Amino acid sequence: MSARFISERAPGGEARAAVSVPSSALRFELRPRFGARSKSFFSTLNTMLPALLLAVLPIQGRDADAEDPRPNFVVVYVDDVGYGDLACYGNPVTRTPNLDRFAEEGMLFTSCYAGASRCSPSRAVLLTGRASYRTGVYDILSNVASDIEMVEEENTIAELLRGTGYSTAHFGKWHLTQKRNGDSAALKHGFDVTVFENLGLDLADRFEEWLEGREDKDRPFFAYLALNECHEPVEKRSPPEYQKLYEGTEEKAKEIRYPKRRPRAKWQNRNIYYGCVSEMDASFGRFLAALEAAGERENTFIYFSSDNGPARLSMNAWGSSGKHRGGKNNLYEGGIRVPGLIQWPGHLAPGAVSDEAIHAFDVLPTICEIAGVELPEDRPIDGTSLVPLLNGRAFEREQPLFWARWSTPDGPHCAIREGDWKLLGVYRPLDKDLTVVEYLRTVDFESFKLFNVADDPGERKELSEEHAEVFASMQATMREKHSAVMRDAPDKDLKNYRYKAGNDNASRFKKRDLDRETGGS
């Protein structure tokens, strides 16, 4: 087991050095904590009447001489967990009683979207409320992309809340700053404390300890809990006790829809993945129990989601996109549509289900509105506050949902969604080597495809000829949005990550590819 690293902001605001704690000092909890399995209600979603939502109480500003009445915020972002991986989203095998119960007591979104189809960009979107290109995160941080990271000038949820009296803490994965900048990078983006753990159950221990040990308990808090589950190496996050829960489920597992193109996945490894899902669920249950023990559960807004769809290239790649096409790394629904759950006791009626499309970049403006914190005026925010939706009022967007990934290996580079319509676009190849920023500011689109993802979540029926006006309008919107994002993107000289002349993914976007990947057991 790896050591944990805890960094704290010094009283003067400077980051203290990270402290390494030997692995032997850590508590390791493997005992499954399951009660009776919650009944999945996914099959009834289309027939349920919209639940009545309770009015959101007005939020008062903080009184310096009294306990701050504003709510706490907990954002739980898991890794590579697909839309169809939870029982409450229809998985017939996985056991996720804590998340199922959480859904039944809160609000479940059937059209929740990650910020991107890969890790780093998705996390940048979540924390800033802005498209990833605006933040300098043009792709996943890696040894190949050694120049890429989120610029320090970005405002995160933590920075905005901390500036108005919130205590802030980051637990788990960061993946927004290069390793050469140290383990305390989160402290430069508004967090008072940053804690690293590889296993969700260990992270739950650290979260509980932080809640119990806070010296500023009169202040509300924002906690960002970023689990590594269910990213590879999955086997290191799937204790045997959890794998045993799935003995004898082979026939039931055949009911789960998986893409045909899953080249390395071994059928005998499926219980390793399922066990990891259940360990993640147990960790989430521990987070809730810690809040309850601290007396904070009833005054805490909690958002749960995933950074992208399920991986498809590893031996343990048994995550499910549900009925959606694709997975991690591409902009089809399976790569970006993910579980999304919200709970706010006393403010949301339990059992609510929403088909409204929401996006990771909506989290920042939502939290800011609830906390009474003004949004930055010196930069565009791509997200929209969900408070009207949560409050049962009319909800409208002024901007489309937006995703872009220039280096995607198997499909479109850009996607937007407006209402039920989704447009996918492929960049036109250029004939010269450029920096990524130069390329993205120069490139135009070569081809597009239009889908109605409400009627066709599998994106099998292309509708550009049947709906020519919608098709033309959304092309213009995509070009306008993409250009606006790139005008705001940091002018970074990414010497180690460049566009190579003639790079062409458009051929992968032809209809024969669309027809070939239809999924199946």
Q: For 414-454, how does the pLDDT look when each residue is reduced to its tens digit (9 = 90+)?
A: 999 999 999 999 998 887 788 888 888 988 999 999 999 99
**What pLDDT score was predicted for residue 507?**
44
| Cβ-based burial of 390 (10 A; exposed 0-12, middle 13-18, buried ≥19) | buried
pLDDT tens digits, 288-336: 999 999 999 999 999 999 999 999 888 888 999 999 999 998 999 999 9
Residue 7 pLDDT greater than 80, yes or no: no
Q: Residue 268's pLDDT band (boundaries 50, 70, 90)?
A: confident
Residue 413: which of 519, 508, 314, 493 has the closest Cα? 508
Instruction: Assess contact for 291 and 244: CB atoms under 8 A.
Output: no
Q: Residue 214's pLDDT band (boundaries 50, 70, 90)?
A: very high
pLDDT tens digits, 472-505: 999 999 999 999 999 999 877 666 666 676 665 5
**What pLDDT score was predicted for residue 211?**
97
**What pLDDT score was predicted for residue 100?**
98
The lowest-confidence range among 76-80, 137-141, 181-185, 351-355 is 181-185
**What pLDDT score was predicted for residue 408?**
76
Residue 59 pLDDT greater than 60, yes or no: no
Residue 38 pLDDT greater than 80, yes or no: no
Residue 92 pLDDT greater than 50, yes or no: yes
Mean pLDDT for 506-511 is: 45
Q: How far apart are CA 373 and CA 448, in angstroms?
A: 39
Q: Residue 242's pLDDT band (boundaries 50, 70, 90)?
A: very high
Distances (CA, A) of 228 to 53, 173, 196, 290, 313: 33, 6, 10, 19, 17
Share of the chain above pLDDT 90, in %: 64
> In this predicted model, which residue has the larger pLDDT, 124 or 42?
124
pTM for the model stands at 0.86
Instruction: Assess contact for 230 and 273: CB atoms under 8 A.
Output: yes
Residue 460 pLDDT greater than 70, yes or no: yes
Mean pLDDT (the chain) is 83
Instruction: Assess contact for 314 and 66: CB atoms under 8 A.
Output: no
The H-or-E segment that residue 453 falls in is: none
Residue 39 pLDDT greater than 50, yes or no: no
Residue with tokens 């099959």: 43
Residue 96 pLDDT greater than 50, yes or no: yes
Q: Residue 89's pLDDT band (boundaries 50, 70, 90)?
A: very high
pLDDT tens digits, 400-411: 999 999 887 667
Half-sphere exposure of 139 (CA within 13 A, CB side): 22
Mean pLDDT for 220-231 is: 96
Same fold, 68-398 and 402-516: no
Q: How far apart are CA 414 and CA 440, in angstroms?
A: 11
> In this predicted model, which residue has the larger pLDDT, 512 or 373?
373
Residue of 88, 170, 175, 230 with catalytic role:
175
Sorted by where each begins, the domain ranges of the chain are 68-398, 402-516
Residue 32 pLDDT greater than 80, yes or no: no
Write down how long the chain is. Answer: 521
Q: Residue 46's pLDDT band (boundaries 50, 70, 90)?
A: very low
Residue 9 pLDDT greater than 80, yes or no: no
pLDDT tens digits, 145-178: 567 789 889 999 999 999 999 999 999 999 888 7
**What pLDDT score was predicted for residue 451?**
98
**What pLDDT score was predicted for residue 26?**
28
> In this predicted model, which residue has the larger pLDDT, 394 or 101?
101
**What pLDDT score was predicted for residue 8?**
57
Q: How far apart are CA 475 and CA 494, in angstroms?
A: 29
Mean pLDDT for 210-237 is: 94
**What pLDDT score was predicted for residue 261?**
61
**Per CATH, domain 402-516 is 3.90.79:** no
**What pLDDT score was predicted for residue 409?**
64
H helix runs in 154-237, sequence order: 157-162, 200-213
Residue 119 catalytic?
Answer: yes
> In this predicted model, which residue has the larger pLDDT, 372 or 31?
372
The CATH code of domain 68-398 reads: 3.40.720.10
**What pLDDT score was predicted for residue 65?**
44
Q: How far apart are CA 408 and CA 463, in angstroms?
A: 23
**What pLDDT score was predicted for residue 347?**
86
Residue 266 pLDDT greater than 70, yes or no: yes
Q: How far apart are CA 396 and CA 240, in angstroms?
A: 47
Residue of 119, 230, 368, 414 with catalytic role:
119
